[in-house]
Amino acid sequence: MTDRDDARVRKALQGKDFPATRDEVVAYVTDRGEVDEKTLVALADLPTGTYGSVDEVVDAVPQRPGTTADR
């Protein structure tokens, strides 16, 4: 992901409480309805697990979202 992509993920997760699982992260941004498709695909491609912060989410987002997923 680029710095711009990182910024979109951070913006999409503003206000989210952590720790949170991948599914909770995706549900949060989906429920807010303010996320673009590229960001949603990137978050849906996060490895299964629990994330302790937005930084952990950003670090875990695949470099090429939409190509593979651990779902």
The tally of domains found in the chain comes to: 1
Rounded to whole angstroms, the Cα distance separating 51 from 33 reads 21
> Is residue 20 one of the residues assigned to a domain?
yes
Tens digits of residue pLDDT in 59-70: 999 876 555 544
pLDDT for res 3: 57
Rounded to whole angstroms, the Cα distance separating 32 from 52 reads 20
> Is residue 67 one of the residues assigned to a domain?
no
pLDDT for res 34: 79
> Is residue 68 one of the residues assigned to a domain?
no
The single-letter DSSP state of residue 9 is H
> Is residue 16 one of the residues assigned to a domain?
yes
> Is residue 27 one of the residues assigned to a domain?
yes
> Is residue 66 one of the residues assigned to a domain?
no
Q: What is the mean pLDDT of residues 47-69?
A: 83
User: CA dist 55 to 19, 61, 67, Å?
Assistant: 11, 10, 22
> Is residue 35 one of the residues assigned to a domain?
yes
